């Protein structure tokens, strides 16, 4: 009985993810066909190459997106896994079908280049972020960057930027230098929106604190923020002095108050702050504030 319920829940989760990825593909297609492409602005990655090839050959954009992404879907299957590849196929097919269906929809914006890049970047960023949040991808260049990062002494983000420089050079042959610059701006905006959609507005922060007053610091954080913390014993490499290292996870709205607490108790405390995209399990729930 429990196994059947678990299987049904898994199927429902898979179905809902697939639906959201399809919606993400259609949203991205809408941004391309009604904002960017009619105003001679492209996207980055494989989609940008597909748009350029479509302008040069008059082949449908949807067909080119599907064909050019095939090697990268295989790459995603080998490097990331079967489910990612399946979800990515769903997303890329949705994006391809969406560009075909929306090709004759009139542009919703014309003339104002700044507004076009901002609105276009937001729309395609939201669509691509929705797909990535649910386990799929709409563009293969990220998969290539992940693979190259394992072979070369560069980070994934550096390689994505490097690969897209070549994409925008190719874009400039069709849309001109101005079009390539606007495409780069739209791509940058889209990348920021993708991050927000993936992580959400309510992301958390992890604070690592080394202080001479660890007990008072933890008590004050608990009393004034309602957050618990953990200790870890550490030793300075130079002084050989032993410390209690404090780790505490808070939400973004509590960050100013956390900084005030640290400054009040120990102005010379050593503090490292990390962005946390997701928190699960444990005792992250707030306690009552005294």
> pLDDT at position 78, please?
76
Cα–Cα distance, 26 to 254 (Å, whole number)? 37
Global pTM reads 0.75
What does the domain layout of the chain look like in residue ranges?
2-199, 204-276
Residue whose C-alpha is closest to residue 194's, from 253, 139, 130: 130
Q: Which residues in the chain land under pLDDT 70?
A: 1-6, 146-147, 149-150, 155-157, 199-203, 281-290
> pLDDT at position 159, please?
77
286, 226 Cβ separation under 8 angstroms: yes
> pLDDT at position 1, please?
55
> pLDDT at position 73, please?
86
Residues 204-276, CATH architecture? 2-Layer Sandwich (3.30)
Give Cβ neighbours of residue 86 (< 8 Å, ≥ 6 apart): none
> pLDDT at position 25, please?
94
Which run of H or of E encompasses 232?
strand 230-235
Span 85-134, pLDDT tens digits:
888 899 999 999 999 999 899 999 888 888 999 999 999 999 998 988 88
Residue whose C-alpha is closest to residue 68's, from 40, 99, 38, 36: 99
> pLDDT at position 156, please?
60
Residue whose C-alpha is closest to residue 186's, from 75, 25, 47, 22: 47
> pLDDT at position 241, please?
85
Q: Convert 47-77 to b/e letters by CB count within 10 Å (16 or more is b).
A: bbbbbbbbbeeeeebbebbbebbeebbebbb
Cα–Cα distance, 275 to 37 (Å, whole number)? 35
Rounded to a whole number of angstroms, the distance between the first and last alpha carbons of the chain is 46
> pLDDT at position 281, please?
64
């Amino acid at each position: 009985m429990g196994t059947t319920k678990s299987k049904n829940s898994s199927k429902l989760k898979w179905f809902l993810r697939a639906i959201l990825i399809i919606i993400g593909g259609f949203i991205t297609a809408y941004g391309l066909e009604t904002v960017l492409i009619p105003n001679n602005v492209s996207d980055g990655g494989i989609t940008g190459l597909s748009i350029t090839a479509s302008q040069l050959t008059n082949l449908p954009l949807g067909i080119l997106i599907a064909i050019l992404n095939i090697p990268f879907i295989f790459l995603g299957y080998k490097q990331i896994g079967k489910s990612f590849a399946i979800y990515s196929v769903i997303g890329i097919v949705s994006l391809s079908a969406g560009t075909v269906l929306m090709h004759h929809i009139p542009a919703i914006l014309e003339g104002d280049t700044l507004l076009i890049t901002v609105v276009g970047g937001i729309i395609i960023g939201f669509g691509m972020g929705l797909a990535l949040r649910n386990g799929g991808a709409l563009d293969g260049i990220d998969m290539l960057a992940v693979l190259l990062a394992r072979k070369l002494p560069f980070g994934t983000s550096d390689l994505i930027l490097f690969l897209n420089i070549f994409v925008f050079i190719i874009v400039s042959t069709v849309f001109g230098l101005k079009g390539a610059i606007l495409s780069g701006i739209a791509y940058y905006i889209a990348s920021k929106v993708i991050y927000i959609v993936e992580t959400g507005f309510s992301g958390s922060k992890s604070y690592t604190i080394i202080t001479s007053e660890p007990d008072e610091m933890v008590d004050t954080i608990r009393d004034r923020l309602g957050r618990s913390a953990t200790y870890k014993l550490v030793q300075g490499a130079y002084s050989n002095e032993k410390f209690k290292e404090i780790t505490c996870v808070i939400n973004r709205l509590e960050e100013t108050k956390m900084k005030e607490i640290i400054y009040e108790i120990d102005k010379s405390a050593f503090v490292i702050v990390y962005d946390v995209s997701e928190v699960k399990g444990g005792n992250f729930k707030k306690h009552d504030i005294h």
